[in-house]
Amino acid sequence: MEENILSALPGVLLPWYRENRRELPWRRDREPYHVWLSEIMLQQTRVEAVKGYYTRFLEALPTIEDLANCDDDTLHKLWEGLGYYSRVRNLKKAANQIMKRHGGRFPDTYEEVRALSGIGDYTAGAICSICFDYPTPAVDGNVLRVISRLTEDATPIDLPARKKEVSQLLAAVYPAEAGDFTQALMELGATLCGPNWKPRCQECPCAQFCGGAIHGAAEQFPVKLPKKGKKEEDRTVFILSCDGKYALQKRPNKGLLAGLWQFPNVSGKLDTPKALAAVEELGLRPRDILRIVERKHIFTHIRWEMRGIYLEVAECAGDFTWMTAEEIEASAALPTAFRQFWEETDHV
């Protein structure tokens, strides 16, 4: 049954895609570096948000060699705001692998692409189909949602076995225009058959053979496993200022937000007396508490409940790097968890 439904997809999706596809910067060519970069950026991030990052990144690093030679601070600054900084570090690592293993030329076999750092089945499938027209499906949440609605399959889509099964089923029906077919599936899942609104079945080219549309049950799919609760942590963040400069420090090179800049912070939500004592323990002399704000940040597995304390100190001392607002904006990549406090300082 699934095979019959999926075999009908190329015939309706290809003409629909060519007529209705969005004009996006990374669709202007099939250069593997460009497709690879866009796919990594688009993970967990909206298309509209990625457009500016994509253009800015390629202006700064137009070639794989440029990416391989980029220093980490510059790289993190180009990625600032996208989150998941391990992805951009893997981009650079893979760029170095391409330079060493392939003489700077992006590999053109699925096995070689899949072997690059940070590239999994989905990204390898996307690159190889879009750039080389190989029948290698790129199965992500969008595609799984579309297939679940088409086939009314209630198997949880977050089961690895289901993802593998859908990949195999799609590979069997891939047309010669593999790149367009991959992007057509992505486009359908991102526009008409999206995750957070009522599916627009009346506009969908697949409505005539989609089980979910025919039975009015599309919104019941996909099915997911119950979410696990996130671990919660309280943190106090110090936004320390002195003579127009702010205290920053680098996070460790391993672990959460590895190697990025942060404001000094400690575990727990400290009250005013304890906060002042903590600042003194950092080797500083606090003057005035300017204000206190409460914020939160949600990571994949952890939720931070954060208290930001804006504090003026007597001198630029302690084991910190003191930067002006201009220096921070130019060169210090602040992850979103800390940047939300920076955006509320007087420099804005």
CATH of the domain at 297: 3.90.79.10
* pLDDT tens digit sequence for 109-149: 999 999 999 999 999 999 999 999 999 999 999 999 999 99
Q: Which domain holds residue 272?
A: 231-342
Residue 326's region, left for phi above 0, alpha for psi from -120 to 50, else beta, is alpha
- Between CA 112 and CA 129 the distance in angstroms is 14
Whole-number pLDDT of residue 348: 46
Last residue of a domain, one of 174, 196, 220: 220
Residue 337's region, left for phi above 0, alpha for psi from -120 to 50, else beta, is alpha
Last residue of a domain, one of 164, 189, 220: 220
- Residue 200 in any domain: the answer is yes
Q: Which residues contact 137 (CB under 8 A, 6 or more apart)?
A: 125, 129, 143, 166, 167, 170, 171, 174, 182, 185
Question: Are 143 and 190 members of one domain?
Answer: yes
Last residue of a domain, one of 220, 249, 269: 220
Whole-number pLDDT of residue 88: 97
* pLDDT tens digit sequence for 229-263: 899 999 999 999 999 999 999 999 999 999 999 99
- Between CA 334 and CA 248 the distance in angstroms is 10
Question: Are 104 and 131 members of one domain?
Answer: yes
Catalytic residue set: 39
Question: Are 178 and 103 members of one domain?
Answer: yes
Are the CB atoms for 332 and 248 separated by under 8 Å?
Answer: yes
* pLDDT tens digit sequence for 191-201: 999 998 999 99
Are the CB atoms for 239 and 345 separated by under 8 Å?
Answer: yes
Mean pLDDT over each residue of the chain, to the nearest integer = 96
Strands 231-242 and 302-313: parallel
pTM of the model: 0.91
Q: Which residue do the tokens 């992006």 mark? A: 106
Whole-number pLDDT of residue 1: 59
